[in-house]
Amino acid sequence: MSTFRPRRLRAPVALSWIALAALGPAGALGAPHLGQRPLRAGMSGHDVRVLQRFLNEAGYRTAVDGHFGPATRARVRAFERAARLRPDGVLRPREARALRRARAGGPGDRRRLGVRALSRGMHGHDVRVLQALLSRAGFAATVDGAFGPGTGSALRAFERAVGGAANGILDAAEIDALRRAARAGSPGATALTPAPSAEPVARATVTSAGLALVPDGAPDAVRRIIAAGNRIATMPYRYGGGHGRWRDAGYDCSGSISYALHGAGLLHVAHDSSQFTRWGAPGRGRWVTVYGNPGHAFMVVAGLRFDTSSRGPGGCAHPPATVISTERGATYTPWRSRPTAEPYPPRWNPDYRGSSPATTRWW
C-alpha cells in the first residue's frame, strides 16, 4: 500500500531553509557575536559590522561594511586610547565590553554634541560639552557628564532666555544658539542676569548719526546687541520685516529686537511682540530689558531705547513717526506725510520716556 511519507518529510526541510533566508547574513547560524572572538585587521563578518556600528554610536565615525580595514583599526585604536586600554587596534572581549559601556556614556564615549537629543538621565561626552557650554553662557551647571536635575534646570533657563520651548531637552536646533551664547557670555555672562530693577553699570550714548556707542565695562553680549542694532538703526520700518529672514529691506518693532538679540546669539527664531512677553524673566534687567504687549515691543539696552516708534506714538503694526525737538517738547509728524527723501529716524534713543507696554522681560 503506497504512502506519502516523502512529501511529509519535505515540509520541515523547506521551512528550515525559509527561516535561514529570513535571518540573512547577520543572523545566519554560527555568526559570531561581538566579543566572541578577537577582531583585528583583515577580518570580516557580522561581528565586524556590529563593531563598526558601535564605534559610530560611541562617536568614532567609520564605514559599516563588515570588513576590518585600516580605517576601522584606526578607530579602534582611538577608542582604546580614550578608554585607557592598550591601543593595539585589536578588539578582544574586554575591549568589546568597554565599547558597550561607551555607547551608554561610559569611558571612551566621544559623541559630538548634536548627534542625539539630550535629556535627563543621559550620560556621556556630549552631556559634558552641553554642561560646559551652559556654564560659559552664564547658566550654572556642574560639568560631570551626567544629565541630572541641575543640568535640566540650567537648560530650561537657557531655553526660556532664547524664547524656545523650555522642556529641558536639547535638540539640534538649539545647539547653534547655545554655542553663540557661550561665546558671547565668556567673560561677563553673569553680568547680564542681576536682580531685576538694577541700573546698568554704564550707559550707552548716541552719535549724531543715530548709532549707539558701547559703554565701558559692557559685557560681550551687550556689545554684540548694540553692534547688531547699529546695522539696522537707520533702516526703514517695514511691517513684518525681519520675520521671514534675518537680512531684510526693513524691520518692524519685534523684527528689530529679534535681529539685535540674534546678533548676540540670544535668539535663534524671530519673535513677534506677543512672544516677547514670554521671553526671558519678568522684571527689568541691569543691561537688557524688553517691553512688550500684543501690539508693540521695544527694548532698552544699557540705558538706550531701541524702538521703531522713534520717540513718537507709532507702534509695531503702524508706520512710525518722526519728531521735531522744541524747547517745550516734541512735535510728531506721521511717517506717511514725510518726504521719502528724508532720513529715517534712528531706532536708538536716549531721551524718550513715554508710556510703555505693560509686560517687561529682562535678560
Q: What is the Cα–Cα distance from 139 to 33, expressed in whole angstroms? A: 44
pLDDT tens-digit readout, 184-236: 654 333 333 333 444 555 788 888 888 889 888 888 888 889 999 999 988 88
Neighbour-count burial of 239, counting CB atoms closer than 10 A to its CB (0-12 exposed, 13-18 middle, 19+ buried) = middle
Cα of 78 vs its chain's centroid, Å: 29
Determine the pLDDT at residue 270.
87
**Whole-number Å distance between alpha carbons of 102 and 83:** 8
Say which residue, 335 or 360, is predicted with more confidence. Answer: 360
- What is the widest separation between alpha-carbon atoms in the chain? 127
Q: Has this prediction a pTM greater than 0.75?
A: no
pLDDT value of position 62: 87
Instruction: Name the 3-class secondary structure at 113.
Output: coil
- HEC-encoded secondary structure of 103-126: HCCCCCCCCCCCCCCECCCCECHH
Task: Give the whole-angstrom CA distance, residue 50 versus residue 215.
Answer: 58
Bigger pLDDT: 257 vs 135 = 257
Task: Find, among 302, 312, 307, the residue nearest to 292 by Cα.
Answer: 307
Question: Tens of pLDDT along 307-317?
Answer: 887 533 344 43
